[in-house]
Amino acid sequence: MELGLHELQERINQRRNVYRNLPPARLIETALAKGEGILTANGALRVTTGKYTGRSPKDRFIVDEEPVSSEIWWGSVNQPFSPEAFDRLCRRVLDYLGDKTLYVFDGYLGADPAYRLAVRVINEKASQNLFASQLFLNPTADELLHHQPEFTVIAAPGFQAVPERDGTRSEAFVLISLTRRLVLIGGTHYCGEIKKSMFSIMNYLLPAKGVLPMHCSANEGPDGDVALFFGLSGTGKTTLSASPNRRLIGDDEHGWSRNGIFNFEGGCYAKCINLSAEYEPQIWAAIRFGALVENVVTDDWRMICFEDGSLTENTRASYPLSFIPGAVSSGRAGHPQVVIFLTADAFGVLPPIAKLTREQAMYHFLSGYTSKLAGTERGVQQPEATFSPCFGAPFLPRHPLVYAELLGERIDEHNTAVYLVNTGWSGGPYGVGSRINLHYTRSMVNAVLRNELEFGHEVDPVFRLALPKACPGVPMEILNPRKTWADPAAYDEQAHKLASLFRENFSKFSEVPRALAAAQPL
């Protein structure tokens, strides 16, 4: 028998030991009392997440049900799960929660009222409820009185599935039912699963309303000029968008409608491995009381050892957007003048910055090349070359072309300039070369935003990307990656190797326009 949302809410409402919409201080006190974490020296709540220190994409499923089944991009990203198995497992999770104390957060996704989604998050752990209250948008007192959840997330990390019985791959699971309007998470304590499951739902809902959902950060200049930063986790979205000279709109998830852009969230979820006050002062200052840090190591004085990745390279900090000075409190802004695609190229052959034609922009958006960085997903210990369409394939329920066509429309409508920025390696591949200096990357991004970067006729011969003549604050020799290698022939070999991977990956998009396919590397 199908478990409906109304029945689920009634079962939760009948519980006596349910705490609703507690303020952060109360949640932190509760988490400490229950032994969920400790306070660090700077006041942040620190928790560890055990076996799962990153997302587990192979344990994520979408319930295969009508009428949405024909709209889903089925495959390794969106794995089908039967409705009957979902209902059985959901009832088992509710039975497990039994008389356990639960924490409920009611809020929203989407800063634009025309497109926002009311969400309820039900947690077994106070610390995860703190995460939800930081990352999602908090309602006003009046909105809370009238809040009616359109989607519900149940996170029960202490419940472990039995694959032979429940139809899961392992003890951990993230199950999304679009018709039941319910997300079920179990077996993993990693907070990011809560955030990303709701991002997937927004990625399903918004294209039908003519809105492009984007895995990007966004900021605004003094004159109201807007820039978007696309990229997978670890490529620099949060770091580069948190600039003292610009106002942060959001660090990870946005929509682009006919009215402009809007943040989905009310907080930030930043990687903090090797975090420094010098390079990332805003993020550094945001990790204080009210913030939550995952899997960081502390010393005897409970100072955070940001350089210590012994638990995972994917150490994380979550905090409200209001912790960033000057952040755009409305979460809304106009149409972007600049779009930047970020990639961390472990091959060491892509230029640190290049300007893209419209066709190249669409090609690289659909390709979504980067190197998957250590710790972002379970089992990833070294950077691996990967192609993630729209720089967010793990969160795309629909076919990538749906999102690419929306991006193309927006670029054409607003004459938006698009750049490719490599935050990865230079002078050789990973293990030989070195990571591009963050100061140089910031200088290049700032030059683009100030319209100070001049491009001449020099074009990369393999990737056919326009290279800048010069950039203030950046040594000339690093602007052309071939010149940074000790052995140019070795560079050529590596460049052609990566180009072949681009072509092989793009062959799956046989239905794209010929002009777009012609933008691929030689």
The per-residue pLDDT for range 483-501, each reduced to its tens digit, is 999 999 999 999 999 999 9
Tell me how far CA of residue 207 lies from CA of 147, 377, 378, 406, in angstroms: 24, 27, 30, 8
Distance, CA of 201 to CA of 296 (rounded, Å): 29
508 is catalytic: no
252 is catalytic: yes
Q: What is the mean pLDDT of residues 46-69?
A: 96
372 is catalytic: no
pLDDT digits (tens, 9 = 90+) for 139-155: 999 999 999 999 999 99
Torsion angle defined by CA atoms of residues 39, 44, 50 and 53, in that order, rounded to the nearest 10 degrees: -170
pLDDT of residue 392: 92
pLDDT digits (tens, 9 = 90+) for 166-189: 999 999 999 999 999 999 999 999
* Identified catalytic residue from 215, 254, 372, 378: 215
Distance, CA of 422 to CA of 272 (rounded, Å): 20
pLDDT of residue 277: 94
Structure tokens at 336: 């972007």
pLDDT at 11 over 70: no
pLDDT digits (tens, 9 = 90+) for 453-467: 988 778 898 999 999
Q: Report whether 116 contacts 202 (CB < 8 A).
A: no
pLDDT of residue 350: 96
Q: Amino acid letter at 125?
A: K
Q: What is the mean pLDDT of residues 216-225?
A: 95
318 is catalytic: no
pLDDT at 384 over 50: yes
34 is catalytic: no
pLDDT digits (tens, 9 = 90+) for 415-427: 999 999 999 999 9
* Identified catalytic residue from 106, 251, 252, 345: 252
215 is catalytic: yes
Q: Report whether 479 contacts 467 (CB < 8 A).
A: yes
* Identified catalytic residue from 46, 92, 196, 364: 196
254 is catalytic: no
Query: Which phi and psi angles does 86 have, rounded to 5°?
Result: -60, -45
Q: What is the mean pLDDT of residues 407-413?
A: 94
* Identified catalytic residue from 116, 237, 254, 271: 237
* Identified catalytic residue from 46, 55, 60, 254: 55
Mean pLDDT of the chain: 93
Q: How confident is the model at residue 1 (pLDDT cuts 50, 70, 90)?
A: very low
pLDDT digits (tens, 9 = 90+) for 466-479: 999 999 999 998 99
pLDDT of residue 382: 58
pLDDT at 379 over 80: no
DSSP letters for 367-436: H-EEEEPTTSBTT--S-EEEE-GGG-GGG-SS-HHHHHHHHHHHHHHHT-EEEEEE-SEESSSTTTSEEP
Distance, CA of 326 to CA of 383 (rounded, Å): 34
482 is catalytic: no
pLDDT of residue 383: 61
Q: Report whether 214 contacts 128 (CB < 8 A).
A: no
Distance, CA of 326 to CA of 120 (rounded, Å): 29
Instruction: Walk me through the domains of the chain, giving residue ranges and CATH numbers.
Output: 5-25+56-209 (3.40.449.10), 212-269+331-517 (3.90.228.20)
